[in-house]
Structure 1
């Protein structure tokens, strides 16, 4: 059995991405790449990495435009290049602010659990199970042979590894899929039929293309499903 997971990080608004906005606004967008890079490193999402790269490129371009622009007799930057650079800074400031709001929501959610809720045993168990599912998914991605040996996603088989409550859509019986994912038996049967027709699912989201599961069940399935 796996060891008990550590208590979830609570933090506060400032430590959970709030400082991004201070850096971004107080620097007028010039240091926007700092919070964007921090978000990309923390989440490791491709979209966040691309956003950080775009923000860096836009900032560098703005400095280049200002650095190569013409100056009048008083030394003031003038001309089309300065106008473009100024517009780009405004876009970085406003667009970056919107981007940070979206990324903070994606990474940290609406906010940390309140102390009373996080202290409840049921909530703690649910959060610990969620972390075990995430760990099991990482193991599936990095070492699928070991994942099969540990029987991740097969609660119907004897095993010692606790995957937090996952089900393998490529091998588990329909009744197990229904039980773990909270589906109706007929819905789980459709998944098994689609699996047999396709040979195997390459990703969990393939299930939604091959079956007619209601959209409101998709996240429910994503939370509990894995493919091996």
Structure 2
């Protein structure tokens, strides 16, 4: 099955215009959105549906043209009844079909994004990373201020947002486990090691004093500080 098209543009360009074509033409030009969807996805099923909608539209036009008319000029008879049924199917069924088709082609409604097009989750993660970089600079340049701001101590009340750092020298094991993505036993090893060492001079000391899996090192480097 072909994956939906990557969600680019706004609602109108991502299939929204289909509904305008359908409603404004009263279903007569519904074949246009269906043909467009088949062109975008290149799926056989969509091409078959577009061909069926086109055939139904042509049949409707033919039946309206050949239907007998009464003295007032209104179409009557069996061709008119069949044409009316086809018109209803194109108008109502075509609309329902477009709703389903748009989901298949464009993946439905996407989550709102920032004006610059970036994903909100990515933007939040990058902003937190910048805050961690700034907080680390304070730890290095002004450790007294860093302690006053309680950088790396998410377990204590504070106003400063350090982006999610944890002080490996003073924070309790649950905070270390939460921020560094460790299990309680691994965080407990860090606390035991710092008690034995007195304090860690750097984050790298943690790996010398403990036997932590290598795949945890980057997470600890990303979130850990030593005050």
Could you tell me the TM-score, scaled by structure 1's length? 0.49
Q: Larger RCO: Structure 1 or Structure 2 (Cα < 8 Å, ≥ 6 residues apart)?
A: 1
